[in-house]
Amino acid sequence: MANAPSQRTRVQRNPSRGAYDRETIDAILDEALVAHLGFAVDDQPYVIPTLHARIDDTVYIHGSAASRAIRTLSAGVAACLTVTLIDGLVLARSAFHHSMNYRSVVVLGDARPVSEPAELLSVLEAFTTRLVPGRWSEVRPPNAKELKATRLLAMNLDEASAKLREGPPVDDEEDYELDVWAGVLPLGLVAGEPSPDPRLGAGIDPSPSVARLHQALNTSNSPEADGAYGASIRR
Amino acid sequence: MANAPSQRTRVQRNPSRGAYDRETIDAILDEALVAHLGFAVDDQPYVIPTLHARIDDTVYIHGSAASRAIRTLSAGVAACLTVTLIDGLVLARSAFHHSMNYRSVVVLGDARPVSEPAELLSVLEAFTTRLVPGRWSEVRPPNAKELKATRLLAMNLDEASAKLREGPPVDDEEDYELDVWAGVLPLGLVAGEPSPDPRLGAGIDPSPSVARLHQALNTSNSPEADGAYGASIRR
């Protein structure tokens, strides 16, 4: 499952940080909650945060946050979708070698609008399920009017690459003598207590999907905890 | 301190979510650890994750992760810098109204390379200090060779806008009757235990800056905790 990197997707700076296998690419895409979609209008690039979901070889972008993107990209211009996970602050003995541990994916290509109702529905389910596994069957499904109002774009993963940094700081050899603490401060996204809608009816507890997700992402988890998003807290 | 939005930066979709005051824009830029920089080469947009730091009316971008960007943007083409903070999953009673609470900023304009040594040095200090307050004075400062190898870009904030969503889900009126838990699962970036460099000398404890930051971002903090990044866990 390896893409050969194209000239455009090959990581040029720090090439050892590049990865082109779909297993790595898919895992990063699937863990990231937000994507940044780039497109140009009249030579001005725009970068818009948007929700995304991957199904097999396609990454879908939710258009509700990016109607300018939808209009532009439906005409078939080139796009770039980038996701980035922050894993830690890299604290070196010199200011210069401070860095960040991260995992990112860049996808290049055209984006096609999704209009077929069955594809729309399956993608909407994927959006919900990848954010909150199990939620889809708990809530009211989309009706015809909502499906009609939904705008989705699709990009395939033919031209994608990952770039990541992990591990401890890399200092200049002579700086290892310095009496300065160095290492990594791991960072990751965690969940707080579910906050009920003020209009929630009496006696309705968090549904199983919400309780499970909160448990998986609980702030009381140790930073080594592995889980949907917790995996991004690494050492 | 309000920018008048330009036609290009005015939030077009859900305009009530737009904000153009510099206080809001600056706070989001300053809290975000990573920016996404967009630029186009031969009509292909690229979106690259990069570190950034704001000083007054300028946002600086660290070029080490974006040498293609540096080459391209030094020639004076248009750029877009976007940062996004994830605050929570918005869990509605219908699949369609699921959303995310977030705060984002988009900055449009040309990027100029920074070459004056005094500006370079002050920006490098800002990069370190905004990630780890107090760290700069604990570590070896940049030497002449490192300053020469540093590539920075600067964009001013004349044409910037913020967009954010906060608060509970907004369901269709008839759906409030449904027996489905609805609300927000707050999310935010927190820190785990500092992980020492395997080459750390014996008896060197985390320096005051690292200990303070870890404390501020500790996973045992309640999600209401306010702090450098902890503020992003909201209700």
Q: What is the DSSP secondary-structure string of B55-84?
A: ETTEEEEEGGG-HHHHHHHHTT-EEEEEEE
| Domain end residue (candidates: A182, A211, A227) | A182
Residue of chain A whose Cα is closest to the Cα of B106 = A47
Q: Does B235 have pLDDT greater than 70?
A: no
More confident residue, A2 or B84: B84
Vertex A66, ends B84 and A188: CA angle to 5°? 25
β-strand partners of A196: B183
- The confidence score (pLDDT) of residue A177 equals 95
| Domain end residue (candidates: B171, B205, B227) | B171
- The confidence score (pLDDT) of residue A81 equals 97
Q: How far apart are CA B217 and CA B33, in angstroms?
A: 13
For residue B3, is it within any domain?
Answer: no
- The confidence score (pLDDT) of residue A72 equals 78
A106 three-class SS? strand
Average pLDDT for B203-209: 93
Task: Kindly state whether B86 is in contact with chain A, defined as any CB-CB distance less than 8 angstroms.
Answer: yes
> pLDDT tens-digit profile of B152-167?
999 999 999 999 999 9
Place of tokens 């995996």: A231
- The confidence score (pLDDT) of residue A149 equals 85
Instruction: Kindly report the number of other CB atoms within 10 A of residue A216's CB atom.
Output: 17
Same domain, B87 and B151: yes
- The confidence score (pLDDT) of residue B225 equals 35
A93 three-class SS? coil
Report ipTM for this prediction.
0.89
Q: How far apart are CA A171 and CA B41, in angstroms?
A: 34
Domain housing A35: 15-182
Q: Does B110 have pLDDT greater than 60?
A: yes
Q: Are A164 and A17 in contact (CB under 8 A)?
A: yes
For residue B31, is it within any domain?
Answer: yes
Residue of chain B whose Cα is closest to the Cα of A188 = B189
In the structure encoding, which two tokens stand for residue A233, read together? 């807290």
A207/B180 Cβ within 8 A = yes
User: In terms of Cα–Cα distance, which of A116, A9, A120, A141 is closest to A55?
Assistant: A120
Q: Does B65 have pLDDT greater than 50?
A: no
Q: Are A186 and A234 in contact (CB under 8 A)?
A: yes
In the structure encoding, which two tokens stand for residue B179, read together? 């027996």
User: In terms of Cα–Cα distance, which of A162, A69, A132, A125 is closest to B100?
Assistant: A132
Same domain, A74 and A173: yes
Same domain, A106 and A127: yes
Mean pLDDT of the residues in chain B: 86
For residue A6, is it within any domain?
Answer: no
Which of B 107-166 lie inside 8 A of A, CB atoms? 108, 124-125, 127-128, 131-132, 135-136, 138-143, 146, 150
> pLDDT tens-digit profile of B118-138?
899 999 999 999 999 999 999
Looking at residue B52, its amino acid is H
Q: How far apart are CA A219 and CA B197, in angstroms?
A: 25
B196 three-class SS? strand
- The confidence score (pLDDT) of residue A108 equals 97
Average pLDDT for B57-64: 87
B99 three-class SS? strand
For residue B92, is it within any domain?
Answer: yes
Q: For CA atoms A130, A234, B149, B112, give the dihedral sign.
A: positive
Kindly give, in sequence order, each residue whose CB lies less than 8 Å from that of residue A187, ignoring residues fewer than 6 positions away: A86, A87, A88, A89, A232, A233, B33, B189, B190, B191, B192, B217, B229
- The confidence score (pLDDT) of residue A130 equals 92
| Domain end residue (candidates: B125, B145, B171) | B171
A64/B13 Cβ within 8 A = yes
For residue B180, is it within any domain?
Answer: no
Task: For chain A, list residues with pLDDT below 50.
Answer: 1, 65, 220-235
Determine which of A148-152, B67-71, B146-150 has the lowest per-residue pLDDT on average: B67-71
- The confidence score (pLDDT) of residue B224 equals 44
Residue of chain B whose Cα is closest to the Cα of A43 = B78
In the structure encoding, which two tokens stand for residue B208, read together? 């005051």
Same domain, A44 and A110: yes
For residue A4, is it within any domain?
Answer: no
Same domain, A98 and A192: no
Task: Kindly state whether B98 is in contact with chain A, defined as any CB-CB distance less than 8 angstroms.
Answer: yes
- The confidence score (pLDDT) of residue A16 equals 78
The percent of residues in chain B predicted with pLDDT above 70, rounded, is 88
Q: Which run of H or of E encompasses B230? A: none
Q: How confident is the model at residue B33 (pLDDT cuts 50, 70, 90)?
A: very high
- Count of domains forming chain A: 2
Q: How far apart are CA B108 and CA A71, in angstroms?
A: 20
Same domain, B162 and B200: no
In the structure encoding, which two tokens stand for residue B153, read together? 């870009």
Instruction: Kindly report the number of other CB atoms within 10 A of residue A144's CB atom.
Output: 8
Q: How far apart are CA B213 and CA B209, in angstroms?
A: 6
B36/A36 Cβ within 8 A = yes
- The confidence score (pLDDT) of residue B76 equals 78
> pLDDT tens-digit profile of B175-190?
999 999 999 999 999 9
Q: Sheet harboring B152-156: ordered strands across? A: B52-55, B58-62, B152-156, B112-114
Task: Kindly state whether A226 is in contact with chain B, defined as any CB-CB distance less than 8 angstroms.
Answer: no
Per DSSP, which regions of chain B are E strands?
A: 18-19, 35-41, 44-50, 52-55, 58-62, 78-91, 99-110, 112-114, 152-156, 160-165, 183-191, 195-196
Query: Residue B154, exposed/middle/buried by CB under 10 A (0-12, 13-18, 19+)?
Result: middle
User: In terms of Cα–Cα distance, which of A222, A215, A217, A220 is closest to A31?
Assistant: A217
Q: Are B193 and A186 in contact (CB under 8 A)?
A: yes
- The confidence score (pLDDT) of residue B228 equals 34
Same domain, B104 and B220: no
Task: Kindly state whether A203 is in contact with chain B, defined as any CB-CB distance less than 8 angstroms.
Answer: no
Q: How far apart are CA B11 and CA B16, in angstroms?
A: 8
- The confidence score (pLDDT) of residue B67 equals 67
For residue A7, is it within any domain?
Answer: no
For residue B199, is it within any domain?
Answer: yes
B48/A135 Cβ within 8 A = no
Q: What is the CATH number of the domain that holds B117?
A: 2.30.110.10
B59 to chain A, minimum CA–CA distance in Å?
16
User: In terms of Cα–Cα distance, which of A52, A61, A218 is closest to A151?
Assistant: A61
Same domain, A168 and A121: yes
β-strand partners of B154: B60, B112
Same domain, B144 and B203: no
Residue of chain A whose Cα is closest to the Cα of B150 = A96
Same domain, A175 and A196: no
Residue of chain B whose Cα is closest to the Cα of A146 = B96
Same domain, A52 and A162: yes
Q: How far apart are CA A224 and CA A226, in angstroms?
A: 6
How far out from the chain centre does Cα A3 lie? 20
Same domain, A93 and A207: no
